[in-house]
Amino acid sequence: MLVLSPVFSQGCGATEWNPKGGNGQDTMLTLTRTDNGKSITMQVNDLLLLSLDENPTTGFQWALDGGGGDLVELQSSEYVPAIESKVGGGGQRVLTFKAQRAGIGQLKLKLWREWQGEPSVVERFTVTLQVRE
């Protein structure tokens, strides 16, 4: 459960967004690259599906960036090739998280070549999560 970093200030400048339907019954939230920097409100036990462009043939892969919190737990991470992908073509890294407890924190990922270390990071993805009971 090394996913979230605590947030101590609510003035993060991101737009609050709740992707649930009007009835509040939906339990799967889906995020993409366009949601980078947003604030997300979810409930304990909700699932968060994050889909980010990735081309592992380049050596760059998405990975969790930091930790220290336990608001959400990574349930799965898999690479899904594009439907009409050619050799060397890209696809999506699909990560699924489950909200474990109430609180506020940040989910951070980085696109990098792990063996080259931090200088190889070419992109970061961050969302602020507010998990409610």
More confident residue, 50 or 7: 50
Domain boundaries, the chain: 4-132
- The CATH code of domain 4-132 reads 2.60.40.2020
pLDDT tens-place string over residues 25-62: 558 999 999 999 999 999 999 999 999 999 989 999 99
- Alpha-carbon distance 117 to 13, whole Å? 29
**Looking at residue 67, what is its pLDDT?**
62
**What pTM value is reported for the model?**
0.78
Indicate if the pLDDT at residue 113 is higher than 50.
yes
- Average pLDDT (6-10) is 33
Q: How is residue 26 written in tokens? A: 């939906």
Whole-Å CA distances, 9 to 14, 26, 86, 104, 105: 12, 28, 45, 10, 10
Indicate if the pLDDT at residue 20 is higher than 80.
no
Give DSSP secondary structure letters for the chain.
---EEE---S---PPEE--S-TTS---EEEEEGGGTT-EEEEETT-EEEEEEEE-GGGT-EEEE------SEEEEEEEEEE-TTPPTT--EEEEEEEEE-SSEEEEEEEEEE-GGG-GGG--EEEEEEEEEE-
**Looking at residue 25, what is its pLDDT?**
54
